[in-house]
Amino acid sequence: MEPATRTETLDIEGMTCASCASFVEKSLARTPGVQRAVVNFATEKATIDYLPAEASPATLKEAVVKAGYGVLERAPDTSAADRQAAIDQQKARAYRTLRRRFWVAAGLALLIMPLSMLMLWPAAMQRVNMQALNYGLLVLTLPVLLYSGREFYVSAWNGFRHRAANMDTLIAVGTGAAFLYSLAATVVPGWFTRQGLMPEVYYDTTATIIALILLGKLLELRAKTRTSAAIKALMGLQAKTARVVRPDGQEVDVPIGQVQLNDIVLVRPGEKVATDGLIEEGHSAVDEAMLTGESLPVEKRAGDQVFGATLNKTGSFRFRVTKIGADTLLSQIVKLVEDAQGSRAPIQRLADKVSAVFVPTVVVIAILTFVLWFDLAPVESRLPLALVSFVAVLIIACPCALGLATPTAIMVGTGKGAEHGVLIRSAEALEKAHQVNTVLLDKTGTITRGEPAVTDFVPAPGQDAAALLQVVAAVERQSEHPLAEAVVRYADARGATQLPATGFQALEGKGAQAVVDGQPVLIGNFRLLDEAGITLPPAVRQAADALLAQAQTVLYVAVAGQAVGVLGVADTVRDTSAAAIRRLQRMGLEVVMMTGDNPLTAAQVAGQVGITRYFAEVLPADKAGKVKELQAEGRVVAMVGDGINDAPALAQADIGLAMGGGTDVALEAAGITLMRSDLQGVVTAIELSRQTIRIIRQNLFFAFVYNTLGIPVAAGLLYPFFGILLSPMLAAGAMALSSVSVLSNSLRLRGFSPAKN
């Protein structure tokens, strides 16, 4: 059944304060047919549920305008995947047309070529009528020009009207000149003979150039679709439907576009998670590799976040929808990658400047080539020589190779990064990352897990460790404090049986208390015990001091008024940190650590992961200063942090890498976001950057060298010395190959895989 109400989202303009939002909201709510209107001031969006019979988007807009605000017209609200599908369809159609045009040109060129060769064969020349042959060639060439090559002329003309010149201009002028000369030689051969010239025709040149350029375009189009394959794969991940559980318990499959916030969605084993949400009940392991690059499935239970497009493996669960449409993590990743692919890399600047003036410059060079040949060559051959060189210069010049050199590599590189959970925000970030020679790691959350874990449990002499741990866990199970969670994890890992606790009370800033087995239990900091008048026996005090010396957080435990033990809680080093840091060092990078801990702890962690230089006792506010300090040493610094507490340092660094805890990341925080909490991502990011830049350099080198060598050779520079004159047909072949080679070189990045230790 169709839902009775429809939902419309409007972008509101001109709201300056929160009261504006409520004003718009009221105005909308008063509109007939509107059942619910919510205006979000921060996002400047109004979400309205309305009865389609009584209200329409137009009346809603009117209500907003009446309230004195504006509605921003939005692009049609189709999903990115739909839009992409439509574009793909159009591209496929264009490809088929292009292929047909190529085959027509190639087929006719294959006929025209041997017929033109007849002229070189004196015996044949005497038997056929030259005039008739030329007319025959003209008839064969016309379809090549008017059907296969039509686009070049149309595009060149359109460009010309805009005072713009592109590659098509060169081809149109080049083939046009060859054709018009041939046409004249065919129609009025007498004029040529009177000037002492052979009425030669260049129909084969015209047809072959068009066929070859079309072949190049065909190959280029095929390769180009592959450069954006990664992002299309990401878009394709979006689930099409969701199984929504209605309030009455009924399960309905609905298209993803109709899923609303706060809907309850059921996910069975093997199914895709439809959108982002929080698990309400059930538990499972979810494969998030497509978003984070993490190959192992992640355990999820009630209260955990799940993300659209991830794959549910083992259990089934229900989740409450918290994000839909463009707000989901998948959509944000797609947008980020798209934006990065749209950005310009600084390395491209020179190529950009050159390509802006390229075509008109080549046209001028071609004209001067014509003039020089005409003036310097022997009178009887000057016109054909001038013409052939003119055409060759126009045809060999390839602005495409210049234009494609950087963007194609950036597209493949950023797409490849997303595949490995490395999100690159811009081409500039990708380029910057390859210059890095120093990696500064903020210890907490990058080298270490950034969440506390119990490292030591020291019961007082005479206490049963296992029994005491059960009592401690019983109290901490009631608490929501991160330290308490660490204790519970520690106890669970040791198989502590669950005991009931009563009268639980959280004591702000101190700890917690409860009654277990009829005895009052206190867990917390020293102040908690001190205020309760409990003194520490020497053994417990010693254990506490030892832990404090290691910069650990100490939890004191008292049962029935007696201090009975201490727990040491600290942040622990990730399993992969040492290997990743070794790898970075092998790549020739200096790895430096920064931490708020005391020098002793800092030295310990640094030693554990093989770091020799570190900054200890760095206050949060001084982090950016440390980055500056390293930069002052002439280093190019990559700063790796969690993206939340160290935003200024990430911004100060030459390139900031934010490492998200799982998928809960602020994507805007840094130049590069690592979706996986693992330093291996830093290695991947820097390696990918280095490879991409290497490819770009090769491409640019090739494109520049190709054009700077090709154009003079085509102009006939070698002719006075070696008698070599480039045939325009060869020029067309070289030109077609040049852009394809640049593209193929960029596509080599598709084989990138991060080095593993």
Partner 1 sequence: MDLTAIIVTLAGLALAALVVWYFFLSARPAASAVSTASGGQQVAITVKGGYSPDLIEVERGRPVQLRFYRDEENSCSEELLLPDFGIRRDLPAFQTTLVELLPRQAGTYEFTCGMGMLRGRLVVK
Among the residue ranges 91-99, 287-295, 442-450, 621-629, the one whose residues contact partner 1 (CB under 8 A):
91-99
Residue 165 or residue 291: which is nearer to partner 1 going by CB?
165
Residue 641 C-beta: closest distance to partner 1, Å: 23
**Rounded Cα gap, residues 94 and 424, in angstroms:** 31
Q: Which amino acid is at 118?
A: L
DSSP code at position 674: E
- The alpha helices in 228-268, defined as continuous H runs, are 229-235
Residue 2 or residue 73: which is nearer to partner 1 going by CB?
73
350 binds partner 1 (CB under 8 A): no
Residue 741 C-beta: closest distance to partner 1, Å: 15
- The alpha helices in 420-481, defined as continuous H runs, are 427-433, 465-476
Residue 16 or residue 250: which is nearer to partner 1 going by CB?
16
146 binds partner 1 (CB under 8 A): no
Residue 408 C-beta: closest distance to partner 1, Å: 9
Q: Choose which of 62, 304, 339, 590 interacts with partner 1 (CB under 8 A).
A: 339
Among the residue ranges 33-41, 48-56, 155-163, 606-614, the one whose residues contact partner 1 (CB under 8 A):
155-163
Residue 372 or residue 573: which is nearer to partner 1 going by CB?
372
Q: Which of residues 202-241 bind partner 1 (CB under 8 A)?
A: 217, 221
Q: Choose which of 149, 399, 415, 568 interacts with partner 1 (CB under 8 A).
A: 399
72 binds partner 1 (CB under 8 A): yes
Residue 363 or residue 563: which is nearer to partner 1 going by CB?
363
What angle (nearest 5°) sits at the alpha carbon of residue 310, between those of residues 686 and 660?
40
260 binds partner 1 (CB under 8 A): no
Q: Choose which of 280, 304, 338, 485 interacts with partner 1 (CB under 8 A).
A: 338
Who's near 660: CB < 8 A, 6+ residues apart? 642, 643, 666, 673, 674, 675, 676, 677
598, 617 in Cβ contact below 8 A?
yes
**Rounded Cα gap, residues 466 and 290, in angstroms:** 42
What angle (nearest 5°) sits at the alpha carbon of residue 80, between those of residues 346 and 62?
105
**Rounded Cα gap, residues 134 and 185, in angstroms:** 9
* φ and ψ at residue 351, rounded to 5 degrees: -60, -40
**Rounded Cα gap, residues 276 and 306, in angstroms:** 6
Residue 407 or residue 710: which is nearer to partner 1 going by CB?
407
629 binds partner 1 (CB under 8 A): no
Residue 165 or residue 563: which is nearer to partner 1 going by CB?
165
Q: Choose which of 18, 19, 26, 86 interacts with partner 1 (CB under 8 A).
A: 86
Residue 50 or residue 370: which is nearer to partner 1 going by CB?
370
Residue 634 C-beta: closest distance to partner 1, Å: 30
3-state secondary structure of 373: helix
The residue among 713, 718, 748 whose CA lies nearest residue 731 is: 713
Q: Which of residues 502-541 bind partner 1 (CB under 8 A)?
A: none
Exposed, middle or buried, 395 (CB in 10 Å: 0-12/13-18/19+)?
buried
Q: Choose which of 50, 69, 102, 615 interacts with partner 1 (CB under 8 A).
A: 69
Residue 699 C-beta: closest distance to partner 1, Å: 13
197 binds partner 1 (CB under 8 A): no
Who's near 571: CB < 8 A, 6+ residues apart? 443, 444, 448, 449, 450, 451, 452, 453
Residue 117 or residue 356: which is nearer to partner 1 going by CB?
356
Residue 158 or residue 502: which is nearer to partner 1 going by CB?
158
71 binds partner 1 (CB under 8 A): yes
- Token pair of 286 as six digits: 């979810």
Active site residues: 442
Residue 339: count of CB within 10 angstroms of its CB: 14
702 binds partner 1 (CB under 8 A): no
The residue among 409, 443, 422, 424 whose CA lies nearest residue 699 is: 409
156, 173 in Cβ contact below 8 A?
yes
Q: Choose which of 4, 13, 121, 191 interacts with partner 1 (CB under 8 A).
A: 13
Residue 237 C-beta: closest distance to partner 1, Å: 19
Among the residue ranges 67-75, 317-325, 457-465, 611-619, the one whose residues contact partner 1 (CB under 8 A):
67-75
Q: Which of residues 415-454 bind partner 1 (CB under 8 A)?
A: 426
**Rounded Cα gap, residues 447 and 609, in angstroms:** 8
The residue among 263, 371, 372 whose CA lies nearest residue 322 is: 263
Q: Choose which of 2, 248, 253, 375 interacts with partner 1 (CB under 8 A).
A: 375
Residue 458 C-beta: closest distance to partner 1, Å: 55
The residue among 327, 286, 298, 308 whose CA lies nearest residue 242 is: 308
The residue among 262, 260, 269 whose CA lies nearest residue 287 is: 269
Who's near 251: CB < 8 A, 6+ residues apart? 243, 244, 245, 266
* One character per residue 156-195, x = contact with partner 1 (rule: CB under 8 A): xxxxxxxxxxxxx---------------------------
Contact positions vs partner 1 (CB under 8 A) = 13-14, 65, 69-75, 86-87, 90-91, 94, 97-98, 151, 154-168, 217, 221, 338-344, 351-352, 355-357, 359-360, 363-364, 367-368, 370-371, 374-375, 379, 382, 399-400, 402-404, 407, 426
